[in-house]
Structure 1
Amino acid sequence: MGAFTADRTGHFAGQDTTSANGTVFVETFTGTATMNPDCTGSATVIGNVLGETHFDFVLVDKRTEMLLIRKDPGTVIFGSAKRQQD
């Protein structure tokens, strides 16, 4: 669980709390994303704990929600993110 901010050029930064194999940690991250016209996309995330990770995503519900899955071998992470009002 966490939060991030993104700009219109595909850069983002944030922080989240994660549990991996029973170990809970806080990770600060930055990254870049590219989005296709059909609202699918991919992102590379650089975190202070997990290092470089890769995700595929799709924007749904009028681009207010993101469904995502990590695509690095040997991992099973999926989730969602909701846009917060300004």
Structure 2
Amino acid sequence: MADSNPLHGVTLEQIVTRLSGYYGWAELGRRINVRCFQDNPSVPSSLKFLRKTPWARTKVEELYLYMLRKHRLTFEETGPDTD
């Protein structure tokens, strides 16, 4: 049976990179109120903080899952890009 957890096999670094690419640091910092996203943000500084702060990591993972669901719904409604 295949693993149905969408976080399976996805690293925290991949999650932060994808979220920052999708939302941008400013919006990411607005959605998740943590300094590592607001003050001179970077992937390495975010990873250092998130690995030590379970509540913040949970929020990041939840936002990532929301982004995946939203992206999937948009794709299903509009179809694939044809560029």
Q: TM-score range by the shorter chain?
A: under 0.3
Query: TM-score when scaled to structure 2?
Result: 0.27
Query: Which structure shows the higher strand fraction?
Result: 1
Query: TM-score when scaled to structure 1?
Result: 0.27
